Chain A
Amino acid sequence: QLHLQESGPGLVKPSETLSLTCTVSGGSISSSAYYWGWVRQSPGKGLEWIGTMYYSETTYYNPSLKSRVTIFVDTSKNQFSLWLNSVTAADTAVYYCARLPPYDYRTGYYFDYWGQGTLVTVSS
């Protein structure tokens, strides 16, 4: 059974960089054709896609966050990570990592496995 677990600081100061890691167990992050992504949920709000990467390190970002986001992989540790720079209070959220199955033109993209999420608060 695939398991994803987010980790990282729960408190980040404004203007600094948020850094989170997702550790994948029960499967290889290099498995062919799967994508790996980040989604967040701000307090009282809905879900927002942040970005997605392929194990080859090809990345795709939400245009609204693209200038501040970096997602990268460490295949030796079976982990992928999120950096979000120049954070503000608006970036306070629960951050989830998730897997996307290989693309099929009949189904589009969706998230089939998720981590439990980690709360990151931006505050001085």
Chain B
Amino acid sequence: DIQMTQSPSSLSASVGDRVTITCRASQSISNYLSWYQHKPGKAPKLLIYAASTLQDGVPSRFSGSGSGTTFTLTISSLQPEDFATYYCQQSYNTPRGGTFGQGTKVEIK
């Protein structure tokens, strides 16, 4: 099984900060990596797929990069509505599904 490890598991940041979350795969997953934002009681929201492609309607302050085993999600200027938990997901060896990271909770400093 491919394990997905996110770091950090939580962080505190202020509005306007640049935030970077890392997701590491236990083996190469090419670019089959997606990022989601999840707020309590709400549906998870797709932010990025194929490691770096921004989903339609997602603000451009979100960006993704990486390939192989190491990926990053960057929020260039944190906004109040961005406080949430973020998950990465790989689908390299689980076609039509995926394995998620354990999540990174972004909290207000």
Contact = CB atoms under 8 A, between A and B. Distances in A.
Nearest to B35: A110
A60 B96 contact: yes
B44 A109 contact: no
14 contacts: A37-B97, A46-B87, A49-B97, A60-B95, A62-B94, A96-B44, A108-B30, A108-B49, A109-B94, A110-B49, A111-B34, A112-B46, A114-B45, A115-B43
A57 to B, nearest CB: 13
Contact of A110 (B30, B42, B91, B101): B91
Contacts of A103: 95-96
Contacts, number: 88
Contacts of A62: 94, 97
Interface of B: 30-34, 36, 38, 41-46, 49-50, 53, 55, 87, 89-92, 94-103
A34 to B, nearest CB: 11
Interface residues of A, number: 28
Given A46-B87, A96-B43, A108-B91, 4 more contacts: A107-B50, A108-B30, A110-B98, A114-B46
Interface in A96-119: 96, 98, 100, 103, 106-117
B97 A108 contact: no
